[in-house]
A and B are shown apart, each in its own frame.
Chain A
Amino acid sequence: MLKYLIKRVLWMIPMLIGISLISFSIMHLAPGDITNNESAFNPKASEESRQKLREMYNLDKPVIVQYGLWLKRMATLDFGKSFASHQKPVFWQTTDKDGNVTKGMIQQALPITLMINLLGLSITLLLAIPLGIIAARKYQAWQDRSITLFNFIGFSIPGFWLSLLLMYWLGVVNNWFPISGLHSLNYDTMDTWDKIKDSFSHLFLPVVIPSITGLAGITLFVKNGMLEVLQQDYITTARAKGLNEGKVVYRHALRNALLPLITIIGLSIPGLIGGSVIAETIFAIPGMGKLFYDAVLMRDFPVVMGILTIGSALTLIGNLLADVAYAWADPRVRRGVAR
Chain B
Amino acid sequence: MFLLFLTGCNAPSKPASEVNYDLNAPPTSGGTMINAMTGEPSGLISMIAGESASSAISSNIFNHLLKYDKNLELEGDLAESWQISADQKTIRFKLKPNLKWADNHPLTSADVLFTWQAVIDEKTASPYASDFQLVKKAETPDALSFVVTYDQAYAPALDSWAGLQILPKHLLEGQDLHTSAFAQKPIGSNFYQLDKWTHGEHLKLSRNPNSALGQAKIDYLITRIIPDNSAQFLELMADNIDLMGLDPIKFSRIIPARPELQKKLALYKELGNSYTYMGFNLKHKPFDDVRVRHAINYAIDKQEIIDGVYLGLGINIASPYKPGTRWSNPDLVPYPYDPDKARALLKEAGFTDSNGDGILERDGKTFSFEIITNQNKEREKSAVLIQRRLKEVGIDVRIRAIEWASFISRFIKTGDFDVVILGWGLGLDPDQYNIWHSSQQAPGQFNFIGYNNSTVDQLLEQGRLELDANKRQRIYHTFARILLEDSPIIYLSAGYGLTAIHKRVKGIDNPAPPAGIGHNSEEWYIPQSLRRNEITNH
List residues of A whose CB falls within 8 A of some B CB.
30-33, 36-50, 52-53, 56, 81, 84-87, 96, 98, 100, 102-103, 108-109, 164, 167-168, 171-172, 175-183, 185-186, 188-189, 197, 200-201, 204, 280-286, 290, 297-299
Contacts and interface: CB of A to CB of B under 8 A. Distances in A.
A201 B8 contact: yes
A179 B234 CA distance: 7
Given A50-B444, A167-B234, A178-B240, 9 more contacts: A32-B405, A33-B409, A43-B426, A43-B435, A44-B163, A49-B126, A179-B234, A180-B235, A282-B228
Contact of A44 (B6, B130, B196, B230): B130
B87 interface: no
Given A50-B444, A103-B199, A168 B234 contact: yes
Contacts of B222: 185
Interface string B215-226: 000000010111
Interface string B430-451: 0010110000001111100000
A199 to B, nearest CB: 12
B104 interface: no
Nearest to B2: A208
Q: Which has the most chain B C-beta neighbours within 10 Å: A39, A81, A102, A280?
A: A39
A185 B11 contact: no
Given A30-B406, A46-B130, A189-B538, A181 B201 contact: yes
Nearest to B45: A86
Given A30-B406, A179-B235, A47 B228 contact: no
A141 B98 CA distance: 84
B125 A56 contact: yes
A35 B317 CA distance: 31
A177 B9 CA distance: 7
B230 A49 contact: no
Nearest to A200: B8
Contacts of A188: 196
Contacts of A47: 442-445
Interface stretch (B68-76, B179-187, B346-354): B179-187
B225 A36 contact: no
Interface stretch (B48-56, B321-329, B469-477, B521-529): B48-56
A108 B227 contact: no
A37 B51 contact: yes
Contacts of B128: 44-45, 49
Contacts of A290: 227
A39 B178 contact: no
A42 B199 CA distance: 27
A286 B225 contact: yes
Given A31-B410, A171-B234, A189-B536, A52 B183 contact: no
Interface string B194-220: 001011111010000000000000000
B237 interface: yes
B184 A102 contact: yes
B96 to A, nearest CB: 27
B227 A42 contact: no
B484 to A, nearest CB: 19
Contacts of A286: 40, 199-201, 225
Interface string B1-36: 000011011011000000000000000000000100
A215 B534 CA distance: 37
B408 A42 contact: no
A285 B228 CA distance: 11
A39 B409 contact: no
A58 to B, nearest CB: 13
B457 to A, nearest CB: 16
A50 to B, nearest CB: 6
Interface string B380-421: 000000000000000000000001111011100000000000
Nearest to B414: A31
B86 interface: no
Contacts of A46: 127, 129-130
Contact of B181 (A44, A100, A175): A100
A109 B408 contact: no
Contacts of B9: 176-177, 201
B455 interface: no
A185 B226 CA distance: 13
A108 B199 contact: yes
Contacts of B410: 31-32
Given A46-B130, A177-B9, A197-B8, A36 B408 contact: yes
B234 A284 contact: no
A126 to B, nearest CB: 11
Interface string B497-538: 000000000000000000000000000000000000011101
Given A38-B51, A39-B51, A44-B131, A31 B226 contact: no
A44 B424 CA distance: 11
